[in-house]
Chains A and B, each alone.
Chain A
Amino acid sequence: MRRTPLSIAVSTALLGAALSMPAHAQTPTELELARKLDRLAAELAEVKAQLATLRAQGGNAGTAAAASEAGTATRAAPAPATADAAPAAGRPTRAELPTRAELAEPATVLTSYGEINYTRPTKAPQDAQVDLRRFVLGFQHRMDSKTRLVAELEVEHAVSSADDPGEVALEQAFVERELGARLAARAGLFLIPAGMLNENHEPTAYYGVHRNFVETAIIPSTWREVGVQLIGNLDNGLTIQGGLSTGFDVGKWDATSTEGAESPLGAIHQEGAQARARNLAVFGAINWRGVPGLLVGGSAFSGAASHSQPLLPSARVSLWDLHARWSPGRWDLSSVYARGSISNTAALNATLVGNPTLIPERFDGWYLQGAYRLWSQGDYVLSPFVRLERFNTARDYADLGAGLTPQAAGTERVTTVGVNFLVGQGVVLKADVQRFGLVSANNRVNLGLGWSF
Chain B
Amino acid sequence: MRLTLFPAALVALAPASAFAVHYLSAEQAQKLMFPDAERFELRDVAADAGSTHAGDAPMQVRIARRGDATLGYVVVDEVVGKFERITYAVGLNRDGSVRQVEVMDYRESHGHEIRLPAWRRQFEGKTVASAIRVGEDIANISGATLSCQHVTDGVRRIVARIDALRRSGSLG
Q: Quick check: A291 and B17 within 8 Å, CB to CB?
A: no
- Chain B interface extent, by class: 35 or more
Q: Quick check: A329 and B135 within 8 Å, CB to CB?
A: yes
Interface assignment of A25: CB less than 8 Å from any CB of chain B = no
Known A-B contacts A228-B3, A295-B142; the reply to A94 vs B11 at CB < 8 A is no
Q: Which of B7, B22, B146 has the most CB of A within 10 A?
A: B7
Q: From DSSP, what is the main secondary structure of chain B's interface residues?
A: mixed
Q: Quick check: B141 and A83 within 8 Å, CB to CB?
A: no
Known A-B contacts A75-B57, A227-B3; the reply to A330 vs B135 at CB < 8 A is yes
42-94 of chain B: CB within 8 A of chain A: 42, 44, 57-60, 62, 76-78, 83-85, 87
Q: Which of B40, B62, B83, B113 has the most CB of A within 10 A?
A: B113
Which of chain A's residues have a CB closer than 8 A to the CB of B109? 150, 176, 184, 231
B70 to nearest A CB, angstroms? 15
Which partner residue on chain A sits nearest B119 by CB separation? A292
Interface assignment of A289: CB less than 8 Å from any CB of chain B = yes
Question: A338–B27 Cα gap in the complex (Å)?
Answer: 48
A335 to nearest B CB, angstroms? 12
Q: Quick check: A83 and B107 within 8 Å, CB to CB?
A: no
Q: Which of B21, B85, B137 has the most CB of A within 10 A?
A: B21
- Chain A interface extent, by class: 35 or more
Q: Quick check: B42 and A79 within 8 Å, CB to CB?
A: yes
Contact with A along B3-37 (1 / 0, CB 8 A): 11011001100110111111101110010000000
Q: Quick check: A105 and B85 within 8 Å, CB to CB?
A: yes
Q: Quick check: B20 and A145 within 8 Å, CB to CB?
A: yes
Which partner residue on chain A sits nearest B20 by CB separation? A178
Could you give 11 example pairs across A and B, Cβ below 8 Å?
A75-B58, A81-B41, A83-B42, A86-B27, A88-B27, A109-B83, A145-B19, A179-B14, A185-B7, A231-B109, A235-B116
* Chain B residues packing against A (C-beta within 8 Å): 3-4, 6-7, 10-11, 14-15, 17-23, 25-27, 30, 39-42, 44, 57-60, 62, 76-78, 83-85, 87, 105, 107, 109-110, 112-113, 116, 118-119, 122, 135-143, 145-146, 149
* Chain A residues packing against B (C-beta within 8 Å): 71-73, 75, 79-84, 86, 88, 91, 93-95, 99-101, 104-105, 109, 111, 140, 145-146, 150, 176-187, 196, 199-200, 205, 226-228, 230-231, 233, 235, 237, 239, 244, 277, 280, 287, 289-295, 325, 327-330, 332, 373, 376, 381, 425
